[in-house]
Amino acid sequence: MKVERWGMHELTLSGPADGNPYADVELRVTYRYRNRVVTVDGFYDGDGVYRARFMPDREGRWEYVTRSTAPELDGQRGSFECIPPGPGNHGPVGVHGAHHFAYADGTRYDCIGTTCYHWTYESKEIQELTLASLRAAPFDKVRMCLLPTDSMRPDRTPFAGPDSFDPAFFRHFESRVADLLELGIQADLILFHPYDRGVWGFDRMTFEQDAAYLKYVVARLAAYRNVWWSLSNEYDFNHNKTVADWDRLLQLVQRLDPYQRLRSIHNGTKMYEVFTPYDFSKPWITHQSVQHWDGAEVAAWRACPKPVVIDEIGYEGNAGRRWGNLTSTELVHRFWQGMALGGYVGHGESFVDRETRAWISVGGRLYGESPERIAFLRSIMAGLPRRADGDLDCVLHYLGDRQPSSVELALPADTSYRFDLIDTMAMAISELPGRFSGRCRIPLPARPYLALRGVR
């Protein structure tokens, strides 16, 4: 048997089907390369079938042995050969330097995501449409929920009962994570959210229920190399849990996850007024998953040595709420503000009167004008020279919504720069005449949404 590096080895075993196997049976599998061992939790997949999934990170021979409370699942041994990664497989994304990301093979990861909270709960047609839309869009990450909201009435949820799970739900959900992987898109999985309001009760489970759910989710999904963990959306809107509870759940996911996928927790806001982010300096947090309306705040947040990802900065659309009725121009402007300062910004769209419902909720079709401009921004960011730590090694000066006729820059006196003028909305680049160094004045066409790119 052969498995690609950063691919997935899946072990399938037959075991007890009686009682409640989700709670009664422990299965762990220890994988070994030379002397290094990695232990993963297995999981019950229904009908007497148990599985364990593992992502090898070294080429060569891996051996495994099972340990289980059920004798028929215990002490099973085997091996496989880990072969070089195939085309497009750059490995999982991790943090690079203090404020950036890279794939395991060193390739830069740009982190321009979008949000489709419950796209996997939609009809097959809408799900396929979502994938087609994503294929054509500039996004490399999707934020998506496992648990339904209070207003949804799905046939299946992750839970089949208070202490058992629905394998069919997960098999479908995983197939969609795999579809995203195929598209080179990260799946930022939102494990809890406050939009339950007690209807399902998933927002107010006991710690033991939360822990069993997280263990099951991590056992099933951690081996997909595109998975990220977002412990909760708008954690501070859930009044059934305290920050200490979230600490405990984040720590638990850290203990369960053999690979240490990227892990954060996303705050809510009362737009323009209330902002209570989780303390991202806590060691079990890998990056800052922020909701905030102002990309200019990135500079302050970079004081914490972890990547800043504004996963929600407001959405393009025409919804009846402030967070969902930004113009394309306003959203793109906020992107440029945040990204020019060394942060990352996520997209969302909520047009409520179109053929398909709001993209942020269901996926479907994109109607806005921002994705095209975000694609342009992505191409600009990808082409910039960078230092080893991922920070820019050039000038990227975004002029925002002002219309200056010139700007004064303080450049190194001993280095000569040439500048391009970037029209972020018209998506046009023009080279400015001349060379600049030291304290210099650069003439501008006096209209908003321009950026200057200066390279040596």
Binding site for another protein (CB under 8 A): 32-39, 58, 63, 65, 77, 247, 251, 254-255, 258, 260, 281, 283-284
Instruction: Give me the least distance between CB of 255 and another protein, in Å please.
Output: 6
Nearer to another protein, 4 or 63 (CB): 63
Report long-range pairs for 45-48 (Cβ below 8 Å, ≥24 apart): 45/167, 45/171, 46/167, 46/168, 47/17, 48/14, 48/15, 48/16, 48/17
Nearer to another protein, 282 or 322 (CB): 282
Nearer to another protein, 58 or 402 (CB): 58
Residue reference for tokens 């497989």 = 89
Nearer to another protein, 69 or 281 (CB): 281
Q: How far is CA 42 from CA 17, 29, 54, 172, 284, in A?
A: 15, 7, 9, 18, 23
CA atoms within 13 A of residue 373's CA, in its CB half-sphere: 23
Nearer to another protein, 20 or 281 (CB): 281
Instruction: Give me the least distance between CB of 283 and another protein, in Å please.
Output: 4
Helices then strands, each counted (H, E), the chain:
9, 31
Instruction: Give me the least distance between CB of 216 and another protein, in Å please.
Output: 19
Distance CA 29, CA 39 (A): 6
Nearer to another protein, 304 or 444 (CB): 304
Instruction: Give me the least distance between CB of 65 and another protein, in Å please.
Output: 7
Nearer to another protein, 62 or 159 (CB): 62
Instruction: Give me the least distance between CB of 56 and another protein, in Å please.
Output: 12
Instruction: Give me the least distance between CB of 85 and another protein, in Å please.
Output: 17
Distance CA 401, CA 188 (A): 31
From the centroid of its chain, how far is CA 126? 21
Instruction: Give me the least distance between CB of 35 and another protein, in Å please.
Output: 5
Instruction: Give me the least distance between CB of 63 and another protein, in Å please.
Output: 7
Extended beta strands in 146-283, E state: 159-161, 164-165, 186-192, 227-232, 263-264, 269-270, 274-275
Cβ atoms within 10 Å, residue 112: 24
Residue 88: DSSP 8-state: T
Strands 159-161 and 227-232, how do they pair? unpaired
**Which residues have C-beta within 8 Å of that of residue 399, sequence separation ≥ 6?**
407, 444, 448, 449, 450, 451, 452
Nearer to another protein, 64 or 139 (CB): 64
Residue reference for tokens 């075991």 = 15
